[in-house]
Amino acid sequence: MLLILQNLQLESKAIVDLIGNNYETMIEQIFEIKDRDRRVSLVKVLINLVLEASEQLSSNQMLFTRLFDICKDERSDESMIENVLWLATSLCE
């Protein structure tokens, strides 16, 4: 999944469709991955894709709600929370 997401970085419409339709599954997949480095890598890739297509994805309130819920989830580690907070500050810019 990580490789597929990384290959989509320049395809804005594909990013919007993929994330818009599958964000719940992607976020659950993040928590199901046991390897910490892979989990954090997936969070980073998802965040980078959101930033790549943020203007088109900005109307998807549930996506952003779920992304920011990562900070409150007890399964999240410090790196995951740090990356979500980085997303928030990047969106503000």
What are the structural domain ranges in the chain? 2-92
User: Taking 60 as the threshold, does the pLDDT of residue 10 lie above it?
Assistant: no
Higher-confidence residue of 19 and 37: namely: 37
Average of per-residue pLDDT across 78-82: 93
pLDDT band at 83 (very low <50, low <70, confident <90, very high): very high
Q: What percent of the chain has pLDDT over 90?
A: 28
**Distances in Å between the alpha carbon of 17 and those of 8, 33, 47, 48, 66?**
11, 23, 15, 15, 17
Q: pTM higher than 0.85 for the full model?
A: no
Q: Which residue has the higher pLDDT, 77 or 4?
A: 77
Question: Angle 5-11-15 (CA atoms, 0-180°, nearest 5)?
Answer: 55
pLDDT band at 46 (very low <50, low <70, confident <90, very high): confident
